[in-house]
Amino acid sequence: MMKVKHRRRAHQHRHGPDSGPDVKMALAGNPNSGKTTVFNAITGAHQHVGNYPGVTVEKKEGGTTFEGTRVHVVDLPGTYSLTAYSLEELVARDHVINDHPDVIVHVVDASNLERNLYLATQFIELGVPTVVALNMYDMAQDRGRQIDIDLLSELMGVPMVPTVGSREEGIAELLRMTIETVREHRTPEKPLRYGRELEAHIEEVRVVLDEAGGLGELPTRWAAIKLLEDDAQVRSLTEDTLDGGKEVLARVERIREHLEEVIGDDAEMALADRRYGFVNGACAEATSSTTRRRIDWSEAIDNVVTSRMLGMPIFLLLMWAMFELVFRLGAPPMEWLTSLFAWVGGHVAGLLPDGPLHSLVVDGVIGGVGGVLVFVPQIMLLFLCISILEDSGYMARAAFVVDKLMHRIGLHGKSFIPMLIGFGCTVPAIMATRTLESRRDRITTMLITPFMSCGARLPVYILLAGAFFSPAMAGKVIFSIYLLGVLVAVLMARLLRSTILQGPTTPFVMELPPYRVPTAKGTLIHMWERGWQYIKKAGTVILAASIIVWALLSYPGPPTDAPTGVGAPPAVTYTAAGRIGKTIEPVMRPLGFNWKVSIALVAGFAAKEIVVSTLGTTYSLGEEDTASGALSAALRNDPELNPLVAYAMMAFVLLYVPCVATVAVTFRETGSWKWPVFMATYTTSVAWIVALIIYQGGSFLGLG
């Protein structure tokens, strides 16, 4: 390591003796690189926690005096890059550009060098003085990784110091190197080079910017690269601060299009690839491994699992196995639970005298909540499989394998995970979109996830397919509904991404963690956390909704002079729900749905499973009849229903407004009513159109 020259702070009094710190340092790094640990080691107890102005990102500041030099430290948010895609990255970038720290101390996890050093390329590009702390140096050594620090510093053009933050080792050397870097105004030695083609285009943009007067203090080369990446922030800055900014942007746009044509790839991806290539190359030259690492067999598995030939087949096989397992193993406990609730309902019914309370408890509460809880075994099994896939490290590979496909529909590979969870329950699926970095990707994913047919819709399909199709056909019919959901999701994603949610797709920076054998505890915890969301939904939203639906289906009762006997309208026609059903019937008629079906669909907004119990009520059946298959018979005997209407109904139930719990969680996750309201209206419109096409098209062809 370099010898440290001690210089006194004489020439550092920029603002007089006591007017502030001598060195303003900003700590940057990937999440979990040990940034906070290093921050604490530097500042000890002298720290202050606040927020970055105007945003809810935590800002930690602190200070220390080291060998007579006063150092002020800001802990930047943990980031992998400095794009304009996430709030954390923008905050970190703004601090570096606008607050002029004297030096960036970039904390990297030395046991995961390649990935961590990507961020360093961003500081190098900005030309800010940077020192790299090779933190977790102990772990790198434990894994048998030898790092030639001098060579790596030379290759990257920035000084590097090994540290072990958790043991406060190397902190003094880090501070010395940092202070020296500031004293000597040492900026990164080499700019990153992107190869002939990219460089030529960067240069073209740079000239355009220079001619227009430049972007203030921003390095023009950096701004040129960002414009080629179509960076939203630099774009608007260009438009707002330059004379003829629009014209400049149009010229840049032409250069970018030309570049993409020449290289046959997205400019942003190509630039990112070069940076990775640069970092990987530097690491390959300056490091070596003495022991066989665990990574080795991870790599061996990856060579098969993510390969072009076998990646997709393996993925499909695993998905198929998962659904087989869930539905086969889940069926028996589901039947036990169904009998259990029937038994409980029967007992309670015997205890309560006939009347509104009896009806409320038996039909409303036990029927409604029980109808949801019977799916718990299947949902838990699905979440168990998903947790195993995630904890073993395969899920990241699956996202990687489907990434190309997902990009075609304008989404990120990571969107795939929430969509998969959506087959269980949409509520945890919407929450799983949190892993997506770009807000546009995230909202698009939220908006299409409800089309992944959740477990709650299955009883509706089972009822309708069982009633109108032969046992041999029923399974295929239900499967086709699942496929229809995926197809609509794909089409809607494309549509949304090219209209209201237009924007660049985030380049794929997917961490591929080493494979691990998942621990039983971790897997069960993950399964439980997600499954609990579902049970909670049953206990809260669905309980409330069941009571409301029950009330709407019970009141007001028929007038005293209402006709009775065979052929008279059932009591439900007089109730509030009956009236709503009648009111919307004209809208539903073109889809082949009568008022009884319409009421059930309205009630299904509370939870899709309620469609089944409501049909039981509108066809004037008791709870026992619904269970015994009398409902199927009643549906078959209704001259207005036939297989075609049943299929249109299944499609409608699949696509229309997701349950109230989903709408509520969308509100919570997006923080505005705009998106849940949009979700409710557009899904219902799509459902209406698709059901119309099925019913009218089928009738035209003489089906049904």
Sites of contact with Mg ion (CB under 5 A): 36
Query: Considering only 164-172, 282-290, 304-312, 612-620, which stretch makes contact with ligand GDP by CB under 6 A?
Result: 164-172
Q: Is 135 an interacting residue with respect to ligand GDP (CB under 6 A)?
A: yes
Of the candidates 141, 166, 338, 620, which one interacts with ligand GDP according to CB under 6 A?
166
Using the rule CB under 6 A, is 33 a contact of ligand GDP? Answer: yes
Distance in Å, CB of 37 to Mg ion, minimum:
8
Shortest CB 678 distance to ligand GDP, Å: 35
CA distance to 40, 63, 338, 465, 626, per residue, from 631 (Å):
67, 73, 16, 12, 5
Q: Which residue of 78, 345, 507, 698 would you call a contact of ligand GDP, by CB under 6 A?
A: 78
Nearest-5° angle of CA 416, CA 417, CA 420?
A: 85
In 243-346, beta strands by DSSP E: 287-289
The 3-state secondary structure of 539-601 reads HCHHHHHHHHHHHHHHCCCCCCCCCCCCCCCCHHHHCHHHHHHHHHHHHHHHHCCCHHHHHHH
Stretch that binds ligand GDP, among 12-20, 24-32, 307-315, 356-364 (CB under 6 A): 24-32
Pairing relationship of beta strands 23-29 and 69-75 according to DSSP bridges? parallel
Looking at beta carbons only, is 136 or 234 nearer to ligand GDP? 136
Cα separation, 657 vs 594, in Å, equals 19
Q: Which one of residues 35, 106, 457, 537 is an interface residue with ligand GDP (CB under 6 A)?
A: 35
Q: Which is nearer to Mg ion, 174 or 380 (CB)?
A: 174
| Partner that binds at residue 31, options Mg ion, ligand GDP, none, CB closer than 5 to 8 Å by kind | ligand GDP
Pairing of strands 287-289, 145-147: antiparallel
**Rounded least distance, CB 602 to Mg ion, Å:** 49
Contact flag: residue 77 with ligand GDP (CB under 6 A)? no
Which residue carries 């207005």 as its tokens?
Answer: 640
Rounded to the nearest whole angstrom, what is the least distance from the CB of residue 35 to Mg ion in the complex?
Answer: 5
HEC readout, 374-400:
CCHHHHHHHHHHHHHHHHHCHHHHHHH
Q: Is the Cβ–Cβ distance between 75 and 35 less than 8 Å? A: yes
138 binds ligand GDP (CB under 6 A): yes
With CB under 5 to 8 Å by kind, the binding choice for 145 among ligand GDP, Mg ion, none is none
Q: Is 634:640 a contact under the CB 8 Å cutoff?
A: no
Task: Specify the residue for token string 């490290």.
Answer: 393
Does 47 bind ligand GDP (CB under 6 A)? Our answer is no
**Residue 56 carries which DSSP code?**
-
Cβ 36 to ligand GDP shortest distance, Å = 3
Backbone φ, ψ for residue 507 (5° rounding):
-60, 150
Residue type, 617: T
Confirm if 89 and 83 have CB atoms less than 8 A apart.
yes
Instruction: Indicate whether 31 belongs to the interface with ligand GDP (CB under 6 A).
Output: yes
**Residue with the closest Cβ to Mg ion?**
36
Instruction: Report which of 36, 188, 199, 33 is spatially closest to residue 124, judged by C-alpha positions.
Output: 188
Looking at the Cβ atoms of 29 and 531, the one nearer to ligand GDP is 29
How far, CA to CA in Å, does 213 sit from each of 45, 248, 253, 429? 46, 11, 18, 48
Q: Which is nearer to Mg ion, 36 or 642 (CB)?
A: 36
List the single partner that 136 binds among Mg ion, ligand GDP, none, CB under 5 to 8 Å by kind: ligand GDP
- CB-nearer residue toward Mg ion: 82 or 182: 82
- Binding-site member from 24, 25, 28, 37 for ligand GDP (CB under 6 A): 37
* Interacting positions 196-225 with ligand GDP (CB under 6 A): none
- In the complex, least distance from residue 357 CB atom to Mg ion, rounded to whole angstroms: 55
Candidates 28-36, 324-332, 406-414, 442-450; binding stretch for ligand GDP (CB under 6 A)? 28-36
Choose among Mg ion, ligand GDP, none what residue 165 binds, the Cβ cut-off being 5 to 8 Å by kind.
ligand GDP
Give min distance, CB of 434 to Mg ion, in A. 18
Is 14 in a helix, a strand, or coil?
strand
**H-state helical runs in 54-195:** 87-98, 113-116, 118-126, 137-142, 149-156, 171-183
Q: Which does 367 bind (CB under 5 to 8 A by kind): ligand GDP, Mg ion, none?
A: none
Of 223, 201, 204, the residue nearest 214 (C-alpha):
223
The values of phi and psi at residue 469, to 5°, are -125, 155
Distance CA 286, CA 146 (A): 8
Minimum Å gap between C-beta 32 and Mg ion is: 8
Token code pair at residue 209: 């910017």
Q: Please select the residue that binds ligand GDP; options are 26, 76, 91, 136, rule is CB under 6 A.
A: 136
Does the footprint of ligand GDP cover residue 62 (CB under 6 A)?
no
- Whichever of 132 and 601 has its CB closer to ligand GDP, that residue is 132
Nearer to ligand GDP, 80 or 619 (CB): 80
CB of 118 to Mg ion, least distance (A): 18
Peptide bond into 556 cis (omega under 30): yes
Binding ligand GDP (rule: CB under 6 A), the pick from 77, 101, 129, 165 is 165
| Cα dist from 620 to 85, 466, 568, 612, 614, whole Å | 55, 20, 12, 13, 10
CA of residue 648 relative to chain centroid, distance: 31
Residue 32 binds ligand GDP (CB under 6 A): yes
- Please give the Cα distance from 31 to 500 (Å, whole number): 32
The number of residues that bind ligand GDP (CB under 6 A) is 16
From 25, 34, 97, 387, residue interacting with ligand GDP (rule: CB under 6 A): 34
161, 164, 425, 549: residue in contact with ligand GDP (rule CB under 6 A): 164
Relative orientation angle of helices 394-408 and 376-392, to the nearest 10 degrees: 100
Backbone angles phi, psi at 106, to 5 degrees: -95, 110
Among Mg ion, ligand GDP, none, residue 33 binds (CB under 5-8 Å by kind): ligand GDP
Q: Which does 164 bind (CB under 5 to 8 A by kind): Mg ion, ligand GDP, none?
A: ligand GDP
Q: Considering only the stretches 35-43, 366-374, 478-486, 655-663, report the one whose residues sit in contact with ligand GDP under the rule CB under 6 A.
A: 35-43
139 part of the interface to ligand GDP, by CB under 6 A: yes
Q: Which of 24, 29, 122, 234 binds ligand GDP (CB under 6 A)?
A: 29
Contact positions vs ligand GDP (CB under 6 A):
29, 31-37, 78, 135-136, 138-139, 164-166
